[in-house]
């Protein structure tokens, strides 16, 4: 297993490198849509987002109850579902991921993490 050292500037460079960011984003979106979506329609429903993120991230470990987790996903989904059509398209998903990456960059500061 390799150890990856990530720091604030690495993450910010990653966000600023839009070509790389878009490529990863598309791969991530496709993975969520293919694996979670029943009909692969190119958009993410709230449940798909939650299932997909449950696999990709460890958010659940920081929260105590299922209700708290659901609240987080409700808020995230509402915030980024800008046109309120009940699904996240690629553009909305992009805003979401960008904000997450920026939050990660702020959260970890300059301390290397493993």
* Phi, psi for 70 (deg, rounded to 5): -60, -40
| Region 76-95 residues binding Ca ion, contact defined as CB under 5 A | 81, 83, 85
* Phi, psi for 36 (deg, rounded to 5): -100, -35
Both structure tokens of 98: 């960008």
The count of residues in the chain is 114
Q: How far is the CB of 59 from Ca ion (least distance, A)?
A: 20
CB 23 within 8 A of CB 17: no
Which CB sits closer to Ca ion, 11 or 77?
77
Cα angle, residue 43 at apex, residues 75 and 68 outer, rounded to 5°: 25
Under the binding rule (CB under 5 A), the answer on residue 60 touching Ca ion is: no
| Region 28-57 residues binding Ca ion, contact defined as CB under 5 A | 37, 41
Binding mask 4-33 for Ca ion (x = CB under 5 A): ------------------------------
Residues in contact with Ca ion by the rule CB under 5 A: 37, 41, 81, 83, 85
């Amino acid at each position: 297993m390799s150890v990856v050292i990530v720091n604030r500037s690495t993450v910010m460079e990653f966000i600023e490198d839009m070509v790389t960011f878009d490529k990863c984003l598309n791969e991530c979106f496709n993975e969520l849509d293919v694996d979670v979506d029943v009909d692969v329609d190119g958009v993410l429903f709230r449940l798909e987002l939650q299932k997909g993120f449950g696999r990709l991230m460890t958010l659940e470990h920081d929260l105590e109850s299922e209700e708290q987790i659901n609240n987080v996903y409700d808020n995230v989904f509402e915030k980024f579902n800008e046109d309120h059509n009940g699904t996240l398209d690629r553009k909305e998903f992009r805003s979401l991921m960008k904000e997450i990456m920026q939050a990660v960059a702020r959260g970890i500061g300059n301390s290397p993490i493993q």
